[in-house]
Structures are given as structure tokens and as C-alpha cells.
Structure 1
């Protein structure tokens, strides 16, 4: 794929129409496309696609405006779950209120569904138990914080816009201070947040044909990191139009999802898959890995690791592993980061001790690992995963308190000098008792002139 002409096709929640697909593969030089982790499409396209749906945006790669991840696609598929935001069309209301392109990554999900990771963005809105109200979990500088307020559906987009502005003005702002600024800018006091209680983790990919609550079928197909070819895309879109199916989805699992297929049309869709040799029964190993579709070296490593592990057997059963993800909160409890040292592979492996991606905090399982050492490390982690103690209560996340005291000491990362609230910095006009956050932006370390933005709380 030619990176020079590479575009990302962003549609909030991955919602597209069959006509969108047909327009994307219309030019003679387009052979197909690949799917991204943010429900987006990556395509080598000459120029700019025209006549796409109103919510669809086109950006060059690398990403400037990350696509909005949303669990709307899972609505109506899981027979045991009820998603009020899907039923009441709150997702659609939120999408329509975004009159700007977010520069921060945003996720909008139901906590009940298992198709989409809850914490895959800097700003993660999660449906509460109260209809029309959302929790907000912020991920800044590897710190995960649940804000002490619930947000109305109509406040989601304004909150994103406000936080974007705050972060643009202060690159090293803390999650705590961001919550304070947000409280001052939006009327949130009436909607206090309780603990966010997440049910025990379920890993379901819904591959193939799945019954829906309305008696119809959903078809979810994976490409296993291979491009979707133009001929298949055309036939897929045309069959959808023939059956009056006007919406399809790109999922965060890099699959194509078509919902509301009539059971009487099942044979037509099975024939389509058969003609194009599309499998709906990928191995557990293939679906367990999270790898960027545009990183060929990462994909090659995945294939080599799977091949070696399969010699002795390597049952995942819900264990997800990521290689070189864009963000550490990608939905995988094990992450492999690779680098090249004098043309040889060197890997660092981090993992979450609970093996539940929804918990915060990673530990290091190994570093500077060669290929054989990487295999040994993964086998050890797999055994830990299958012998772990499973918490039937799920995950409880408590909101921060804005009444908590701010840190009174901050340290310069360059010369290690400290700022103490009680002492202030009188020689530069800073009175004792001044909070670090209240220092002017022009304030610098009085020893080495390091910027205030680089200081760390201690």
C-alpha cells in the first residue's frame, strides 16, 4: 500500500452505506482497502473521494482527527443485553452534535456490550445505568481517571470541545485539573457520578451469522489483516442494496458488519462469501491478536509467533495480545513492543496482572527479548492467564474527588529541584501558599529554566 496516497475514511461509529463503499472503490487505480482499529478505512486513493455520506470525513495519514469509536454496531446483536443509547438513538444524537472534528480520540460505548473495548481513547464516555447520562473516563499520560460527574447526552460533544481547548493550552495538564476546568465550564453539579461497575469480562467476536433480537441476522466477517479486494466490496455493497440494507459497519475488531439480514436471504449471503472465499470461521489464534494493519513487520511477527506456538499448542480462550499498538489501552492485557537492534529483533512485553484490560496499570514481563525468549515469555503469561483467580464481581472504578488536596510538591525532571507550595518562589514574585497549577505559564525552574509544563508531581 502506497503510504504517499494513504487516506483514512472516518465515519463515527464506523457507520457507512453501501454507496460509500462503491464510491471508494470506483477509481480504476483502487484495488481495495484495509480496516483500522478505530472503525476507519485505510485506502490508497488518487485524490479525494467525493459524494460520501454527510458524516464521513476524509483525512490524510498519519491521523490528525481520530475516528470516534462507538458501540452502536453491537446494538440488537447480544440477545441478553439492552443498550438504552441504541434503543433511544442517543448515539445518533451525539454524532449530530459533533459540528467539529475531534483532535482527541473519543469512544462512546455501552458498558454491557463485549464487542468494543471500553477504554480505547483519551476520552471514554460510557453509558451509565441512568438513561441519557454518561460516565467519562479520561486517559492522560497513562493515568486513567473517572470524573465525578455524569454527562447528559447533549453535553458529550461540548465536553469534548472544551477539553480539547484546555489540553491545547496546557499539553501537560493533569486529569484532576482537567476535571476542575470542565466543572467550571459546564453545568454538571446536578449529575454526580457514582462508581462505575463493569460486569465480568466476556470475550465474544460474533464472527459469522448471529441471530438478532428482531429475528433477523447479523453477518460479521474478518479479513485477518488482509486487504478487502475491490471485487468483493462491490458485490457486498450491491447485494446490500438489492436487499434494502442501507447501513453497514466497520468494527474496532477490523471486521465488516452487516445487520438486519432477512433469514430468507441467508443463502444469497452465503453464496457471496463462497464465491470470494471469505471464511467465517477464523482460528481462535487469528482473532486473539491486535496488530496494526499497515505495519507489515508486526503482522509478519504475529504470523511467525502463531506458527511456533501452535507446534506445542497455545490455547487463548479469551486472551488477547497486541503488537506495536498505537495506544497501550487497546483492549489487550498483553502488549509486545518491538524494535530493531543491529538488525535483530528486540521485544519488550508488558501485561496486566489481572489479565483484564479494564484494570489500569501494566507490569513488565520481559525486555530486550529475542524471538525464542519472546515465545517463552508468552507461554509463561498464557499459563498465568489460565490459572488466574477470576473475580466474579467484575471491575469497580471509583470517581476522583475534586475536593482532594492537590500535590504540594513538584519536581523539575532536568535538575531535580523542587517547587513547594508552602515556600512558593518569592524571588520570582510567587507568594508562599500558591498552588503549582496557579503558577503563570511563563514560570520556569529557577535553577535550570525548565518549563513549568515539564514538572512532575511528587
Structure 2
């Protein structure tokens, strides 16, 4: 998207929220500078394309503290605030708690921070470096540290208090960034050493957790259209097929929010926009707005469950070719979501991941992986296969979807204790190995057809093998089951 004259401007929206008035100011400035469209990123931030002259005006009026040009040195704080009342059941995690935490960040984090309600499925859990997940105890959070530039995850041994999250994050960030040799881009980073160093540095209000994090089965909610929630409220979700929103439409949208006394708007990691607190009596105003700007808010669900890199035309083009193939196959994709990566370290979220690579001969290769149990919040990847063209890739993905539904096509049958013990012993006899760098798994039940390894081949019998994701060697795999 970037060329010699134009650059990508990123404006952070901490927590994925912005007041209608503040957004309107940005939009009017962009419109005056003849910028015609903008988009939202997968970390809930705002993106627009601008020339050198336009950037100088944006910096003059917005300031360098809230925007970056062609950079992401200060990632947006991601939160599930958007799901409150709409996609998440009632819990102690309310609007006030979200705001208190988000507003307590009086510095710009350099690590990715996620603040997430465990009861919802719209916002990913572990795409940050510091992932705070709500617990059963009021105002206390699980913390999962994903060390920068790795998939290595460490579960913090205690719960973190809401009021400490900002300062806790600052302290961990200082240690990680000041001791690169221990914690940055280190697949063997020691989480317990990080705990020890933080304990010596500061004293925080933590609490032991009584049980591990439990999460409901994943099912991405339908996040667009005009819908009812609570007793007398509506919400409006707007998704754009090409990811871009016309500036003129957004100006009219913010103006209507202010007119109807709606204070803020929300962004999602699916690059969509959401407005809450619409009164049923005002529905006609919102429908009229959508009519005027020809906004479609009823897309097929099999195009809403994709994660792409920000402003990546190549990934967007590939997505539409695959969606078309899915439609022709009349394919079911419920409870699945897909991610397309044209670069390896993108932090995208998906139960099925398509990784584009180039072979040594310059041939494009699409590696297809799925997460453990097809849980998109898992960081354990299982290689399924690879393809060299779109047709083969489409077929491979369709087969993988059928494989998923084959796993969920029968009701669980009752079994006596002896049968259960036999089954558990059989399962325990399968030893799975994972790459220590990217956690891609080798499962002997599948083998690896792309490396001419047949199904049923034990890892111990392999003489040569490399990770299909990051090319790590055989010696870089570790047993996980």
C-alpha cells in the first residue's frame, strides 16, 4: 500500500474505544486534507494513508504522541470492552472497570497488551505480549506472558489486581526491554526468572489462583447489522468487505452519534466498527444513514471469520479467492476462523492458519496449519499440508474443514470403565513433538506428506526433518505429550 508519496499513519485507540467528538475532529481534519478513506487494524487502531504534506498537517493538529508513520513501535492496547453487555454475559467486568484500567496507562507501552474477558469470543486472548484474562475473583486477572518475537507462553503464578495492571505492565516491560539477552526473541526465555526479577523490583497486590483458566468453546459471534441487546437497546456493527470506510460516511456517523447522545464508538480486531446504546425509537435514523451511504450490513458469515495483516492487498485478494471457493463448495465454517500470514510474526488469530512462504527456487508455497483442538486461542500449531496454487489450497482447506466436522459429527457415547482405560492408554502412547521456536507440532498419527513421511511414523524413527513453519531442525523439537 505504501509508495514514494504516501505513508501509513497509525493512530492508537486504547482499548478499542474513542469518543464520537474526538473521532469527528480527526475525520474533519482528514476530510479537509482530502483524505477520502480510513481503516481499522487488527489491534483496534485507526489507519489512514497520507502524503508528506498531509502528515505534516496531521502532526500539527493531532500531535506525535498519538500517531506513528510507517511504524508500530507503540502497539495499541487491545481490550474486550466492545463486548460488554453485547457479546459477554454479565460479570464483575463492567464498563467502569475497563475504563479505570485503560485510563491508568499514563505511558505508551512498547509491548502488546491485551485486556480480555474470558467469557467472550470476539477478542483474542493471547495475541499480546502481556495478556490479562479475567478470573472468577472480582478485579483480579490471570496473566499470560508471551515473550516478544516468540510463541513461548508463561503463565504468571498469581492473579493481578485491576488497579495494578498498568504499573505491573510498565515494570515487566522495563525488565524485558532492558535485558534483551534474557527475554527478547529468546525461545528459551525463563518466566520464573522474570517473576524473580519483578519481585525484587516492586511489590504488587497479587493473589494465588485456585484453578486454571477455563474458557468456553469458541464461536465467533455475528458482529454486524442492527441487533437488540439488554431490554431496550440496539447495537449496530459495520464491516467493510475491502476494509476501508469512507470519511464522509464516518463524519455523518459521528454526527448522528452526537445528535442521539451516544458518547463513544468501538473497534474490533475484525476491522469493524460498533455502536451501542441505540434507542429503538431512533432505529429509523440509523437505517436512513446506512441507506444514504449504501452500507451493506448483512454479509455471509464465511467472510466475517478472517484475520488479515493490516492493509495487505495480497492477503485480501487471497481471502476473496478462498471465500469464493468455499461458497461454490457450499462449505460450513461455523466455529472456525482463518488467518492469512504473508510474514511470519504477525500475531494474528485463527483456528486455521495459512502461511505464505517462498521456496529456495522462488516458488510460492502455502503452508496450512490448525491449532490444537481448533481452538484459535491456542498457540500450538499442527501442520496439515501445503499447496503451491490457489486451487490446491482451496481443496486442502475444504478437506481440513471436513476433518474438523468429522470430529464433531457424533454425540459422545457412554463407555464402561475398562473401555475408557484402554482408550486413555492408547492416547497416552502417542508422543507429539513441538518445535521449540514456533510450537508447530509433529503428530505421528498424521506424519508429514510434504516431507514424504507417512502416517504412523514415530518421531524417534525420523533421520531428517525440519519444521514446516520456521525450518528449525529435528534437534529443535521437544516432546509435549
**Corresponding residue SS for 2:67:** strand
Q: Deviations over 1:94-137 (max 9, x none)?
A: 12221111000000011112221111211100111111111101
**Corresponding residue SS for 2:132:** strand
1:25-104 paired onto structure 2 within 5 Å: 25=27, 26=29, 27-45=32-50, 46-47=54-55, 48=58, 57-78=66-87, 81-87=89-95, 89-104=96-111
Q: Distance in 1 between matches of 2:270 and 2:262?
A: 22
Match for residue 299 of structure 2 among 273, 282, 285: 282
Match for residue 178 of structure 1 among 183, 194, 199: 194
Q: Distance in 2 between matches of 1:391 and 1:36?
A: 39
Match for residue 312 of structure 1 among 329, 335, 338: 329
Q: CA RMSD for the aligned pairs?
A: 2.8
**Corresponding residue SS for 1:5:** strand
Q: Distance in 2 between matches of 1:390 and 1:120?
A: 30
Match for residue 127 of structure 2 among 120, 138, 143: 120
Match for residue 403 of structure 2?
384
- Residue 15 of structure 2 corresponds to residue 13 of structure 1: yes
Q: Deviations over 1:36-89 (max 9, x none)?
A: 00011111231225666x9982122221111000111111213x71132225x1
Alpha carbons 2:309, 2:346 under 8 Å: kept: no
Quick check: 321-330 or 244-253, which moved more?
321-330
Alpha-carbon distance change, 86 to 338 in structure 1, aligned in 2, over 3 angstroms:
same
Alpha carbons 2:358, 2:364 under 8 Å: kept: yes
Alpha-carbon distance change, 189 to 77 in structure 1, aligned in 2, over 3 angstroms:
closer
Q: Distance in 2 between matches of 1:180 and 1:324?
A: 35
Alpha carbons 1:12, 1:56 under 8 Å: kept: no
Q: Distance in 1 between matches of 2:387 and 2:325?
A: 19
Match for residue 187 of structure 1?
203
**Corresponding residue SS for 1:134:** strand
Shift of 1:31: 0.7
Q: Deviations over 1:383-406 (max 9, x none)?
A: 11112249999xxxxxxxxxxxxx
- Residue 147 of structure 2 corresponds to residue 147 of structure 1: no
Match for residue 225 of structure 1?
242
Q: Distance in 2 between matches of 1:340 and 1:273?
A: 43
Q: Which has the higher helix share?
A: 2
1:252-401 paired onto structure 2 within 5 Å: 252-324=269-341, 327=345, 330-340=348-358, 345-367=364-386, 369-389=388-408
Equivalent residues, number: 394
Alpha carbons 2:222, 2:301 under 8 Å: kept: no
The runs of 5 or more residues in structure 1 that have no matched partner are 394-412, 414-455
Alpha carbons 1:200, 1:392 under 8 Å: kept: no
The runs of 5 or more residues in structure 2 that have no matched partner are 413-436, 438-475
Match for residue 449 of structure 1?
none
Shift of 1:319: 1.0
Q: Distance in 1 between matches of 2:387 and 2:197?
A: 41
Alpha-carbon distance change, 147 to 308 in structure 1, aligned in 2, over 3 angstroms:
same
Q: Distance in 2 between matches of 1:50 and 1:213?
A: 42
Match for residue 118 of structure 2 among 88, 111, 115: 111
Q: Distance in 2 between matches of 1:109 and 1:329?
A: 16
Alpha-carbon distance change, 390 to 215 in structure 1, aligned in 2, over 3 angstroms:
farther
Q: Distance in 2 between matches of 1:20 and 1:119?
A: 29
